[in-house]
């Protein structure tokens, strides 16, 4: 689902994307692979992809895999939105 949503948002020409992970309770290697692929795809198209609302377990996995150094991660959706600057419209997935 995430892959298709990000693909659709990029296809619509959006350059600022936020993945709100609040409802994600578990992530495995396949899920991490999808996130990395989405990040790479966004970068190739000149877009930025930010994550927000990672739960503790998800955050721990991201830290363990060192993916926190790859992604821009924010505590809240509001912080993620404001990271793009004032007046920015971001697509929230």
What does the pLDDT read at residue 58? 92
Tell me how crowded residue 21 is: count the other CB atoms within 10 A of its CB.
21
What does the pLDDT read at residue 91? 67
What does the pLDDT read at residue 3? 84
- Joined together, the tokens standing for residue 36 give 């990395």
| Residues making up the chain, counted from first to last | 93
Range of lowest pLDDT (19-23, 31-35, 82-86, 88-92): 88-92
What does the pLDDT read at residue 13? 87
Domain 2-92 has CATH 3.30.750.24: yes
Sequence spans of domains, the chain:
2-92
The per-residue pLDDT for range 48-93, each reduced to its tens digit, is: 999 999 999 999 999 999 999 999 999 999 999 898 886 656 767 6
- Joined together, the tokens standing for residue 43 give 């970068």
């Amino acid at each position: 689902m995430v892959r298709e949503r990000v693909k659709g948002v990029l296809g619509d020409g959006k350059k600022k994307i936020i993945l709100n992970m609040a409802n994600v309770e578990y992530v495995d290697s396949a899920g991490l692979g999808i996130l990395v692929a989405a990040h790479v795809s966004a970068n190739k198209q000149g877009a930025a992809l930010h994550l927000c609302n990672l739960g503790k377990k998800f955050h721990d996995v991201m830290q363990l895999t060192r993916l926190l150094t790859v992604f821009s991660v924010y505590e809240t959706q509001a912080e993620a939105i404001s990271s793009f600057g004032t007046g920015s419209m971001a697509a929230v997935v």
